[in-house]
Structure 1
Amino acid sequence: MFKHLLIATDGSAVAALATRMAVDLAKTCGATLTAVHVIEPFRATTYGEMMLPTSEAVYLDNARTLAARYLLEVEQVAKEAGIPCTTVCEIGEPVHHVIEGVAKERGCDLIVVGSHGRRGLQRLLLGSETQKILLTTHLPVLVCHASHAAG
């Protein structure tokens, strides 16, 4: 059985669903939990007269504030269930590689992620970190789909 689960969160509703699933599974297995949120590095974008919408410091401050909130939500769900949980916030890219790196570094034996269940052109245009994780990791991955939230 699994001993250490990694839950990747982006603060979305499907991430909350994946969190509940990971906590339930950890409780069943007697496992511990690590929650990770990955902040993508600042990108200076230009438009017109070299316009910058925000500075790197402001971007990182806002991103860290959101990350702390997302990770606290996971911590609280785990605490209510009596599951030991640590949190990690990393800055890096590509996101799926950072998630896998944290899982390996922390000795996790399962990655739990949410998926919006996008298909076809929408998946192609928007990309999917979950899809990239599935294609690149050698660790087992549990995918929790948005469609499961309704039922």
Structure 2
Amino acid sequence: MFKRILVPTDGSDITAHAVDAAIQLAKVHGAQLLTLSVMEPFPYSAVSEIQPVPPQEFIDAQQRVATQRVEAVSAAAAAQGLACRMHTAEALHAWEAIVDHAKTEQVDLIVMASHGRKGLAALLLGSEAQKVLTHIDLPVLIVK
């Protein structure tokens, strides 16, 4: 049923549950597994020319962390005998990068974690999972 499954990762413990679910689904369906970690862009400011961290240092650190996150997913998949294609992307909003990547890679299913925030916390903090759900017409499995 599913041929290409995308599991975005932010490296959190809750995302590990989504990664496990995605790996199992990919094995059951004989699907290709893809993972994505989204990096924040450098916070350029027109107000001040003095930046606390030089741009290249910030970018390198973001890339290093994103790479570690997708490598962790790939290692978890490899431990289960499954290959995993790793990707990183830079975006102001993670949900936009996830939606764009899912469309570009023509995935059949997105498996992602949700922190399960409710009420005011969900309103103030937002939900990347909720935004993905409302901006894509693919199946999305939310793992809590």
With the shorter chain as reference, the TM-score category is over 0.9
Percent of pairs with identical residues: 38
- Equivalent residue of 2:107, what SS? coil
Q: Structure 1 stretches of 5 or more lacking a match? A: 146-151
Aligned length: 144
1:22 has 2:22 as partner: yes
The aligned counterpart of 1:110 is 109
**1:54 deviation in Å?**
1.5
**1:44 deviation in Å?**
2.8
Q: Structure 2 stretches of 5 or more lacking a match? A: none
Equivalent residue runs for 1:1-151 within 5 Å: 1-44=1-44, 52-145=51-144
Whichever residue aligns with residue 27 of structure 2, its letter is K
> Whole-Å Cα distance in 2 between the matches of residues 5 and 51 of structure 1?
43
The runs of at least 4 aligned residues of structure 1 exceeding 4 Å deviation read none
- Equivalent residue of 1:61, what SS? helix
> Whole-Å Cα distance in 1 between the matches of residues 30 and 39 of structure 2?
30
- Equivalent residue of 1:60, what SS? helix
Determine if contact 1:46/1:52 at 8 Å carries over to the other structure.
no
Q: Give the TM-score of the pair, scaled to structure 2.
A: 0.92
**Deviation sequence 1:88-143 (CA, Å, 0-9, x none):** 00112332121111112112100111111111111111111111001111111010
Whichever residue aligns with residue 5 of structure 1, its letter is I
